[in-house]
Structure 1
Amino acid sequence: MAPHANAETGAQSKVRMTFEGTPLSVEPGSSVASALEAWGCHGFSRDVKGEERGLFCGMGACHDCLVTINGKVSQRACMRRVEDGMDVRRQAPRPQVANPAIADLARLPEAIETTETDLVIVGAGPGGLAAAETAATSGLSVVMIDERHDAGGQFYKQPATDAAKTALSSDRQAADGADLIARVRAKGVMIRHETLVWGGFHEEDGRIVLSCLGPDGAFYCRARAVIIATGAHERPPAVRGWTLPGAMTVGAAQTLLRSYGTLAGRSIVIAGNGPLNFQVALEIVRAGGRVSAIIEEAASPFKRPMAGLELMRSDRALAIAGTTQLARLRAAGVKIHWKSRLAGIDGGGAVETVTIETARGRTTIAADTVLIGGHFTASNELPRLLGCAHEPRDGALETLTDATGRTSLPHIHVIGEAARFGGAFVAMSEGRLAAAALIERLNGKTVIDQAAETRMLARHRRFQRALWRLFAPAIEDDATPDEDMIVCRCEGVSLKALNDLVERGVSDIASLKRLTRAGMGRCQSRYCGKALAEIANAGKPLPSQTNGFLAPQMPLRPIPLAALAVEKGEWGGHKHAMLPDRPPLQADQPLPRSKAATVIIGGGIAGISTALYLARAGEDVVVLEHAYPNAVASGGNAGSLHAQLLSFDHGARAEAGGGPAARTLPLQRESIALWQALQKETGGDFEMKITGGLMVAETEAHLRFLEEKTEVERRAGIDCHVIGQGELRRLEPALSDRFIGAAYCPQEGKINPLVATDGVLREARRHGAQLFDRCSVLSIERDDDGFTLATSRGPIKAERVVNAAGAFASRVGAMLGLDIPVFGAPLQMVVTEAAEPTITALVAHADRHLTLKQAANGNFIIGGGWTAGLDPVHQHPRPLPESLEGNLWVAQHVVPGLRKLHVIRSWAAMNINIDGAPILGEHPACPGFFNAVTSNGYTLGPLVGKTTALSILGEDAGFDLTPFSIERFTGTTR
């Protein structure tokens, strides 16, 4: 493979590295991605299917450019600078963590330190730098956090190599940025480079704590106020072939050129919308590159004289500069296709041709590189995570701010393109105004003329409005998209897979995500989120920030598991959390039914299973779900199938002494068998495997505890016994060798709750059951004919009501004056990036809170009952930092290979806490009202449903229901 002309221009002061064993000599300061691009290699990574990928976003957001560096997997090539002796290899789709050549990603920290400051600014671009300069002048302590090696952001990006420094030696934009950076440093602002903000939370005293990861490890940054200046990223619409190596954003190509002096390719087509495309095209031409064509969605500005005149009035100098750019491109022979769009990219493993659509039809152009520009979207994951209010606008979420960037949370300001697209000068004015407002709020004295800055901001905004009126897309996008094109880049999900679900009746974005994994990958839906929302809502307006879009989850970008693993003390039981308020969701139409024989409240696995067994018996049954089916505990659990007791369900830590949990053991065994039967009967693939379960012991005391526990389990008919170290190593060689034995239960296993509940629901519907989503039950009245339920979609009468509302079962009971002793217990789960098969069994610990399994796609799913919290703004369950640290420490303590992987997602769900056993059967004080509520709910879901259905039908459940009746709580104190 031949190098580009700007690759090996001399041997002096070069950095020596290897790629796939081939030695390379590259310029110091280069990123790994720029070095490989300079060498002529577009396809240096691999996707989940093993196909070649390469540079796409160029700013660390998409995770397409992952490589293995010095044995460490999943390193972002665009964010890592080359080092002498660096060994770079293509990323395996699933690394083998048992391979000794794969290295741990980080050392285990003894503790995670906290930095204190008045103000933390996230993002060191123009807006963040302007805010930092203003704030530091007032005497506030300021910490800036930025992912890049150098401050400046996309607009003021600084040259990193000698070639780039020479090329930009007279560049005004780079020089202005360097001056601003120097002024900020001179004022004592601490800039934490190469540092990722991966999460954040609120403390009770009103301070904000940001979770960070820098070159020296993880730390927390606690601040009185926060300015978020994270900018925007290009999110081009999906087209055929947009994942091919050689297809990248315009911003990525500009970074290659301005930061590293590297051309993106030899024959380049630029497509998209907006003036940046023309600026970058001219920069490429000046650097000696060849731009074959520019494909612009807007009409020619020369055919829109009034819009051009408005731009000229807004800023004459900038308007003339833009006109000059167009003239120079025309003089250089660059063909500009106005009112055109990118229709597809083709090639055998890399870009070879580009198809464009113009007013005259389709045309194909040869190219080895396609730069896709425009379609900017705010990088607003952090303000969304922190609970700042947003609203849907133009197919995306926009942060609600005032003139100073202040959000719905007064100590958080969001400025620049993190709030809305507006350019660097708008961002700088907003940054200065935000800093001034926070200085006053923190009892300081501002040094800027806020009135003058406000006038300047208004001027910049007028120019931006005029600019984007001129560049408004003018081509009708009425072509039928290729159904085989990839929508979700991370997980390789096609448009057809998504459309098939919509045709089947799936109507919400969360269900699309659960059933296809779209949006679950490393980029957390940054590139597919808009498309998923549009597909789910079928062209209708997006309803709300929580209903129409996927919520951001910690970590906001993947982080090494080992960097967060800190040992924590074990807690003594579930914390009974106050249940959050759940306002009704907007539905399209009233309930189409006014009565039913049985109405089930709750569309989780317990309610849906009840509906299935009733419908099979010919019963008229309706399920009412507040949100969407499988959306709360059932869809948020880790998918463990428990046959044996968890360690905290036996002994001193157990609820009610462990008796109720022990009495539930036969039900767990039978329910697992029901799961097997359902998978066979429905013909679906629930990704269910009976792999056996291990509860590992590392001390003699642990072994004695397991001996006692397994004796209880065997008396209940569970096949469980203690094994020694040798057999444990034979079963699971990837476990740490510190373990001297385990309790082994061959009846345990795992299941994918994301698809299993959907399979049961489809079967229930096939037999006539109906489920109505976005239907909140507001009240229930009992009368001679049964019950009347008032819902957010209208009333419905029922002869019988089944309370399958999970953690919210107590609220349903209270509507009838009944005390249902069920509590909400928010618990967290964590998932890693995928790896080659490493462990088979469901793994737990005899004295630590842990459940650990490897999913069919290779992800490790880590749980075990670690307490989560409730988001103080939206009241959603949210993982807690101390629980994340402790949970991950136990996981790597048991499976050391996890230190070689990144955590890509965590989440929390409202679990159900009773006394260790379910509440089943008809309520003695309210005939016709049945409870179907259980902890360990996913394992027990089918049996709860079948048992409840048999009770309703007046048939024998096959076992004594007395121990599970609500009557066992009579006379107890809650």
Structure 2
Amino acid sequence: MATDPISATGTEPDQTVRLTFDGMPVSAESGSSVAAALTAWGCHGFSRDVKGNGRGLFCGMGTCHDCLVTIDGRVSQRACMRRAEEGMAITLQEPRPRIESPAIADLAPLPEAIPSVETDLMIVGAGPGGLAAAEIAAKSGLSVTIVDERHAAGGQFFKQPANAGARKALAGDRQAADGAELIARVAEAGVNIHHETLVWGGFHEEDRRTVLSCLGPDGAFYCKARAIIIATGAHERPPAVSGWTLPGAMTVGAAQTLLRSYGTLSGRSIVIAGNGPLNFQVALEIIRAGGKVAAIIEEAASPFTQPMAGLDLVRSDRALAIAGTAQLARLQAAGVKIHWKSRIARIEGSGGVETVTLEGPRGRKTIPADTVLIGGSFTSSNELPRLLGCAHSTRNGALETVTDDTGKTSLPHIHVIGEAARFGGAFVAMSEGRIAAASLIRQLGGDTTADTATETRKLARHRRFQKALWLLFAPVCHADTAPEYDTIICRCEGVSFKRLHDLVERGVSDIASLKRLTRAGMGRCQSRYCGRALAEIANGAKPASSETSSFLAPQMPLRPVPLSALAVEKAEWGGHKHAMLPLQPPFETQEPLPFTRASTVVIGGGIAGISTALFLARAGEDVVVLEHAFPNAVASGGNAGSLHAQLLSFDHGARAEAGGGPAARTLPLQRDSIGLWQELQKETGCDFELKITGGLMVAETEAHLRFLEEKTEVERRAGISCHVIGKQQLRKLEPALSEQFIGAAYCPQEGKINPLVATDGVLREAKRNGAQLFDRCTVKTIERDHDGFTLTTSRGTIKAKRVVNAAGAFASRIGAMLGLDVPVFGAPLQMVVTEAAAPTITALVAHADRHLTLKQASNGNFIIGGGWTAGLDPVHQHPRPLPASLEGNLWVAQHVVPGLRKLHVIRSWAAMNINIDGAPILGEHPACPGFFNAVTSNGYTLGPLVGRTTAQAILGEDAGFDTAPFSIERFSGTTR
């Protein structure tokens, strides 16, 4: 807890704000961030992780979300990004806040609509590169808008003092003064700067204009721009070591922000570790401010032992080289011990940092400290250009945006500059910004007097210096062993190296499967800190090979945003929208199939195909599953995990496909398949997180109640226990629902399941019984001959007596290979997930007249779906949520559960749903003996039953129900 204040200035501030932390009074300089106020007070551990362990400031720039606190009843506020204000009540946040508590406040008012603004040029990021570009563009007459997350412009390099203490600490500082001059010139040029504004998403309109989704102090808005410059910079991504999540462990950049922006020292006894010259600069700044640097741990060799590399640096920029040498001399004069060719091996402490263990040429050494700053390992903040579809390439295990000499990307109206594209320093970013602005001015039909020839020469000089600098600071101390088992790899979800290692040992070999099975990369930071480690663990330390196979795709929102800020009522759409199927994923392997024959080949590694393989293998059948991506990677792994026993509102009545008859005939199958899921959970010994919670379809008008009475009558005739309940019983079952609902249809047989682990459990059971699955195996052609089928795949040719078409939305493509019309369509649908909360609702919740499915997962996250249509990612060809669908879906969710207004949305995703006529297609095709369809539009609920029924048909066994209504013969034109 707090001790004596550790302000760097030692003087009384010009103005003091008074606040409280867990009821204790805290004073801070006006202008300080909440994190700076608490750190100056002497408190490192002012936050908690998902397991309740202490956390504190880590990145200092709003990326990691480690420093979350509750402020004035509003949960999950980033302490590093919020200003300390008079009277603030800050509390240590519960890992799962109780949103039904009146002490927890709504995060934002509901907007009537989300406004749009238009500009010629939008620049994302007000650091050196963005500011330099804005100055050139505005002087040419373009309307220029900058959006930036921080309170003031300047970015990480040109940090500006926010209070009296920082102004004193930076008195005479040339770097801060140069930044202030640039900021002033940009303001004079008429640039419109939106401070404290987050870009959380983006999309392309039909006219090819790009729209960025923003959230500022006054709410959400869309910004439509003729051109965009992305200057989002980079962030430090230190390698994971044991103890790096302890309070008091933070990045060097975070400590520099505390000092230069807020006049606050990061600790009392500080160890600085990592790689690069910034560490030495910050060490000197700490010493000048009166702090103690106990040691510097540097992965590179001493520059004084590298005369040739030092000479190259002097040749590239003599003045900067001399300044760097002087820094090292001043550190030595101050008595700071520098451990060259060394790295952090472990950080230890009880509730916070107490010791740092280094590993170097002389073995291990432990240093006492209360703070450790980890620097270097910079990575581009390129989530936005990736989301927008700009091409990227891999280099040294990292992603770089593909640009030309002007910063232009594969999308000509989008330029990416500075460290957002590749690491290069502030001076490189400024030159690139001016060149990019000049290029876009001409592209938009304007004139500029910018001297791009001179700027290009400057850029070349800056790049030569950076190349020489990083050659001099090339790390020579690399970890040659895997992390210790207790090391946390995913900071957000608390996933250890051991858990990931055990899955790889079991055969999991791709980053997406590691994510699905452990939740690593699913937290608030969206894998910014664990993504590279996940890829290395999955690939056996091999370098990243491609954007799509080695990196997790960015998802909207790029940062958590208040659910209520985006919730806008939308008209309900009238049914599933058929969409073009995505291209086959570009997953490739050169490994050939280890066989050329099998009795049954199942095409599709989702739950339907894997279940088919399980029941065939149990019967002794030789069965092989071919999956074009990875198992559970498409619809099965992308669904929300609802177990539906009753009809959804759009499966009955006027909106239902084929009049609702096929969906109604499927009801007994849904009921029986839920029972089969329960049996499989017991048989496999795997926790599927399956709970039969009951399902509610809520009504808010008398018309809704009449609709539900008709629907439940149909369901009861089909053997489903479902009836209408009144308001009092509804409130008793789910008190967190809005009081405006007057009743509901209640089905006690419904529930929820975790599809991320359930499919894996079924797959493991299938393999134990002899089934084989081969991923990254695309079926290209199928030919029928006298003794079965010949399948040509991306991994070789295989002959089979029988083929099962379990390809989901791609089933029509498989059928077409044999000249068969399988009437299955793709319908991409979205899902949304919030941050975790204490248990609030139990049942699976739907609405009688609106598109909604809502449930709370076992970890506390709310999962929101309901059939809102999605689009396609322009690069990955994956389904992607659409802004209008997100707005409408979130509005319905908070309309039903008002407490959701107190939470942030942390992730959305979309999956290629299957649209048929409301019923599955099962059984052998009458025009093609040996070819079986196993396709359903309610795939996850029905998956096990579809698999068992298909296996029974192949084995000549009775399914126990009349399968004729589900045969493809119900459609006309079954052959071409």
Partners of 1:717 and 1:393 in 2: CA distance? 59
Partners of 2:828 and 2:557 in 1: CA distance? 18
Q: Match of 2:465? A: 463
Equivalent of 2:546 in 544, 548, 556:
544
Q: Match of 1:141? A: 143
What one-letter code is carried by the residue in structure 1 that aligns with 2:165?
A
Q: Match of 1:277? A: 279
Equivalent of 2:732 in 730, 733, 739:
730
What one-letter code is carried by the residue in structure 2 that aligns with 1:661?
A
Q: 2:14 aligned with 1:4, yes or no? A: no
What one-letter code is carried by the residue in structure 2 that aligns with 1:720?
C
Offset of residue 452 of structure 1: 1.3
Q: 2:817 aligned with 1:812, yes or no? A: no
Q: Match of 2:289? A: 287
Q: 2:130 aligned with 1:122, yes or no? A: no
Q: Name the SS of the counterpart of 1:801 in structure 2.
A: strand
Q: 2:845 aligned with 1:843, yes or no? A: yes
Equivalent of 1:676 in 675, 678, 697:
678
Partners of 2:341 and 2:15 in 1: CA distance? 47
Offset of residue 10 of structure 1: 3.8
Offset of residue 873 of structure 1: 4.2
Equivalent of 1:529 in 531, 545, 556:
531
Offset of residue 477 of structure 1: 2.0
Offset of residue 479 of structure 1: 3.5
Q: Does structure 2 conserve the Cα–Cα contact (< 8 Å) formed by 1:615 and 1:767?
A: yes
Cα 1:374/1:263, change in 2 over 3 Å: same
Q: Match of 1:908? A: 910
What one-letter code is carried by the residue in structure 2 that aligns with 1:965?
S
Offset of residue 206 of structure 1: 1.4
Q: Name the SS of the counterpart of 1:546 in structure 2.
A: helix
Q: Match of 1:333? A: 335
Q: Does structure 2 conserve the Cα–Cα contact (< 8 Å) formed by 1:584 and 1:792?
A: no
Q: Deviations over 1:453-499 (max 9, x none)?
A: 11110000000000000000012422442111100000000000000
Equivalent of 1:747 in 746, 749, 756:
749
Q: Name the SS of the counterpart of 2:550 in structure 1.
A: coil
Q: Match of 1:610? A: 612
Q: Does structure 2 conserve the Cα–Cα contact (< 8 Å) formed by 1:584 and 1:776?
A: no
Deviates more, 1:103-112 or 1:16-25: 16-25
Equivalent of 1:207 in 206, 209, 233:
209
Cα 1:28/1:301, change in 2 over 3 Å: same
Offset of residue 972 of structure 1: 9.1
Q: Name the SS of the counterpart of 1:664 in structure 2.
A: helix
Partners of 2:7 and 2:246 in 1: CA distance? 23
What one-letter code is carried by the residue in structure 2 that aligns with 1:527?
Y
Q: Deviations over 1:339-363 (max 9, x none)?
A: 1001110001100000000101000
Cα 1:495/1:336, change in 2 over 3 Å: same
Q: 2:322 aligned with 1:355, yes or no? A: no
What one-letter code is carried by the residue in structure 2 that aligns with 1:956?
D
- After superposition, where does 1:691-840 map in structure 2 within 5 Å? 691-840=693-842
Q: 2:184 aligned with 1:182, yes or no? A: yes
Q: Match of 1:196? A: 198
- After superposition, where does 1:855-866 map in structure 2 within 5 Å? 855-866=857-868
What one-letter code is carried by the residue in structure 1 that aligns with 2:220?
A
Q: Does structure 1 conserve the Cα–Cα contact (< 8 Å) formed by 2:13 and 2:164?
A: no
Q: Match of 1:494? A: 496
Equivalent of 1:72 in 71, 74, 94:
74
Partners of 1:926 and 1:973 in 2: CA distance? 9
Q: Match of 2:387? A: 385
- After superposition, where does 1:144-155 map in structure 2 within 5 Å? 144-155=146-157
Cα 1:874/1:5, change in 2 over 3 Å: closer
Offset of residue 541 of structure 1: 3.3
Partners of 1:477 and 1:528 in 2: CA distance? 17
Partners of 1:331 and 1:542 in 2: CA distance? 43
Cα 1:770/1:973, change in 2 over 3 Å: closer
Cα 1:549/1:874, change in 2 over 3 Å: closer
Partners of 2:353 and 2:666 in 1: CA distance? 59
Cα 1:973/1:826, change in 2 over 3 Å: farther
Partners of 2:596 and 2:291 in 1: CA distance? 69
Offset of residue 539 of structure 1: 2.2
Partners of 1:784 and 1:477 in 2: CA distance? 59
Offset of residue 3 of structure 1: 2.2
Offset of residue 870 of structure 1: 1.5
Partners of 2:272 and 2:74 in 1: CA distance? 34
Partners of 1:496 and 1:427 in 2: CA distance? 40
Query: Identity percentage over the alignment?
Result: 82
Partners of 1:223 and 1:173 in 2: CA distance? 32
Equivalent of 1:94 in 93, 96, 111:
96
Q: Match of 2:252? A: 250
Q: Does structure 1 conserve the Cα–Cα contact (< 8 Å) formed by 2:490 and 2:527?
A: yes
Partners of 2:927 and 2:57 in 1: CA distance? 66
Q: Provide TM-score, normalisation by structure 1.
A: 0.99
Q: Deviations over 1:161-182 (max 9, x none)?
A: 1010111121000000000000
Offset of residue 874 of structure 1: 3.8
Q: Match of 1:566? A: 568
- After superposition, where does 1:889-904 map in structure 2 within 5 Å? 889-904=891-906
Offset of residue 586 of structure 1: 1.1
Offset of residue 834 of structure 1: 0.2
Offset of residue 583 of structure 1: 5.0
Q: Does structure 2 conserve the Cα–Cα contact (< 8 Å) formed by 1:416 and 1:431?
A: yes
Q: Match of 1:426? A: 428
Q: Name the SS of the counterpart of 2:549 in structure 1.
A: coil
Partners of 1:588 and 1:501 in 2: CA distance? 23
Q: Does structure 1 conserve the Cα–Cα contact (< 8 Å) formed by 2:562 and 2:903?
A: yes
Partners of 1:786 and 1:972 in 2: CA distance? 20
Partners of 1:278 and 1:873 in 2: CA distance? 40
Cα 1:458/1:12, change in 2 over 3 Å: closer
Offset of residue 863 of structure 1: 0.1
Q: Match of 1:157? A: 159
Offset of residue 971 of structure 1: 4.9
What one-letter code is carried by the residue in structure 1 that aligns with 2:750?
E
Q: Match of 1:37? A: 39
Offset of residue 875 of structure 1: 2.6
Q: Name the SS of the counterpart of 1:547 in structure 2.
A: helix
Partners of 1:605 and 1:58 in 2: CA distance? 43
What one-letter code is carried by the residue in structure 2 that aligns with 1:695?
M
Q: Name the SS of the counterpart of 2:498 in structure 1.
A: helix
Q: Name the SS of the counterpart of 1:587 in structure 2.
A: coil
Cα 1:347/1:157, change in 2 over 3 Å: same
For structure 2, the 5+ residue unaligned runs are none
Cα 1:701/1:283, change in 2 over 3 Å: same
Q: Does structure 2 conserve the Cα–Cα contact (< 8 Å) formed by 1:584 and 1:626?
A: no
Partners of 2:127 and 2:27 in 1: CA distance? 31
Partners of 1:40 and 1:13 in 2: CA distance? 20
Offset of residue 580 of structure 1: 1.5
Offset of residue 717 of structure 1: 0.1
Q: Does structure 2 conserve the Cα–Cα contact (< 8 Å) formed by 1:206 and 1:224?
A: no
What one-letter code is carried by the residue in structure 2 that aligns with 1:829?
M
Q: Name the SS of the counterpart of 1:957 in structure 2.
A: coil
4+ runs deviating over 3 angstroms: 7-12, 971-974
Partners of 1:874 and 1:720 in 2: CA distance? 42
Partners of 2:597 and 2:498 in 1: CA distance? 37
Partners of 2:971 and 2:571 in 1: CA distance? 32
Partners of 2:311 and 2:526 in 1: CA distance? 42
- After superposition, where does 1:18-57 map in structure 2 within 5 Å? 18-57=20-59
Offset of residue 12 of structure 1: 6.2
Equivalent of 1:933 in 912, 935, 939:
935
Q: Name the SS of the counterpart of 1:55 in structure 2.
A: coil
- After superposition, where does 1:549-628 map in structure 2 within 5 Å? 549-582=551-584, 584-628=586-630
Q: Provide TM-score, normalisation by structure 2.
A: 0.99
Q: Name the SS of the counterpart of 2:513 in structure 1.
A: helix
Partners of 2:922 and 2:200 in 1: CA distance? 42
Partners of 1:296 and 1:262 in 2: CA distance? 24
